[in-house]
Amino acid sequence: RRPPPAMAEPSLARLGAGANAWMVDENIADITRQPQEPLIARLRTRTKELVLDVHKAAVVVVDMQNDFCHADGWLASVGVDVGPARAPIPVLDALIPAARSAGAMVSWVNWGNRPDLLNVPSSVHHVYNPTDRGTGLGDALPPRGSRVLEQGSWGAAVVDDLQAHVRSGDDLVVSKYRMSGFPDTALDSALRQLGRTTLLFAGVNTDQCVMATLVDAANLGYDVVLVADACGTTSPDFCRQATEYNVSQCFGFVAESADVLAALAAAGTQHTYLDRAAAPGGPAGGP
């Protein structure tokens, strides 16, 4: 009979990040990756009640950046009303601090292209400058001279209105180069390293970059929730409706921010339905 595994000793130091960290010293490498105590929240969505672990959750904020959400940004410069793209700002003003305080992670996923644009295909250039006669990716945009969606530029930064919520060193900040935040980026590997498997999506545009990132996340095995009023789009409203329908039908769940806030506020170390069902003599149903 094998002896039980030794518990981590107080002298061991944490090596690595999140759920995949080891505990080490000169003689021991504890690679058991001890689980974190769950913090259970019950979230009402449009189709079902979700029972989720806040410590495995991340709010993924997509493309809430100056070039899309500010009057001096690229989108406004081509004549698009950015009002709908700014609609999520007050929702995120409440959601981000509540999520962080409860123990969820915050991730900012923004366009942030290389100055040489070498990893950007022609199909993506075409989205922003279909005739090559306008102001496209990497071009200087009046009146600020910021280069459109270039990493490190004002236009690629989180929109000024939300800058106060960015926590350097705590938040996961990822630059993307496609409509989705996953191709050619570290988003997937970082989320997995940190043990964040439930993703709550916010940002713009609901039907474009938010949807593309959410679909890729679902296809990679993440549990996905679209926080409907924490998203916005400058597209016709039928695009939003179709996106919300397809998320609920095919990929995950759709919720409202008020329900997310309520779930976070009430989160606690409660049993999950699975715990209750597995307990000796436990009910087949929920608590």
CA gap 253, 256 in Å, rounded: 10
| β-sheet bridge partners, residue 57 | 198
Closest Cα partner for 65 from 110, 6, 2, 9? 110
Residues 57 and 200 sit within 8 Å (Cβ to Cβ):
yes
- Which residues participate in catalysis according to the annotation? 63, 176, 209
CA gap 256, 276 in Å, rounded: 28
> Alpha carbon of 233 to those of 90, 202, 217, 226, 246: distances in Å?
15, 11, 20, 13, 16
For CA atoms 165, 147, 81, 176, give the dihedral sign: negative
Residue 146 CB partners (closer than 8 Å, separation 6+) = 66, 67, 140, 153, 154, 155
CA gap 81, 195 in Å, rounded: 38
183-201 pLDDT, tens digit per residue, is: 999 999 999 999 999 999 9
Which H, E and C letters describe 137-199, residue by residue?
CCCEECCCCEECCECCCCCCCECHHHHHHCCCCCCEEEEECCCCCCCCCCHHHHHHHCCCCEE
pLDDT at 5: 56
Looking from the CA of 46 toward its CB, the CA atoms found within 13 Å total: 17
Closest Cα partner for 107 from 219, 252, 217, 264? 217
CA gap 36, 43 in Å, rounded: 20
Residues 88 and 254 sit within 8 Å (Cβ to Cβ):
no
206-227 pLDDT, tens digit per residue, is: 999 999 999 999 999 999 999 9
Find where tokens 């296809």 sit.
219
Does pLDDT of 163 surpass 70? yes
Average pLDDT of the residues in 117-140: 94
36-61 pLDDT, tens digit per residue, is: 889 999 999 999 999 999 999 999 99
pTM here? 0.89
| β-sheet bridge partners, residue 147 | 140
4-29 pLDDT, tens digit per residue, is: 555 545 689 989 888 888 999 999 99
CA gap 184, 119 in Å, rounded: 9
220-265 pLDDT, tens digit per residue, is: 999 999 999 999 999 999 999 999 999 999 999 999 999 999 999 9
Give the Cβ contact number of residue 123 at 10 Å. Answer: 8
Phi, psi of 188 (to 5 degrees): -65, -50
pLDDT at 287: 45
